[in-house]
Amino acid sequence: MRQQYLSAMPSPEEFFAIDMRVGTVVHAEPFPEARKPSIKLMIDFGPEIGEKGSSAQLTVHYTPAQLVGRQVVAAVNLGPRRIAGFTSEVLVLGGMLTPTDVVLLSVERPVANGTRIG
């Protein structure tokens, strides 16, 4: 089993190709049309990237009101996905206690929107 896991690992080059940035949630609303309980987010990633939308399964620990103004970490270059008619442009990152129980990754102190994660 261990050998199988190791062979599926990305190379360092593949990992570093993922562009992870910090952004601030500027709008959040329930997303009842999604198959799994989710929240629609609009996140400001600063002038280089701008505002991007995301559908995130965060309903176990967060309400939309709790997310507005919060800085989050997201992968911004994975390409868009259509989810129940909504275009999710970035993947918000979190620790997954279970497939539906997500705790957001965050920065220790405020940083500029668009700051790279490295």
pLDDT above 80: residue 57 = yes
Domain parsing of the chain, residue ranges: 19-104
pLDDT above 80: residue 3 = no
CATH number of 19-104: 2.40.50.140
Rounded mean pLDDT of 4-18? Answer: 78
3-state SS of the chain is CHHHHHHCCCCHHHHHCCCEEEEEEEEEEECCCCCCCCEEEEEECHHHHCEEEEEECCCCCCCHHHHCCCEEEEECCCCCEEECCEEECCEECEEEEECCEEEECCCCCCCCCCCECC
pLDDT above 80: residue 1 = no
Rounded mean pLDDT of 22-35? Answer: 96
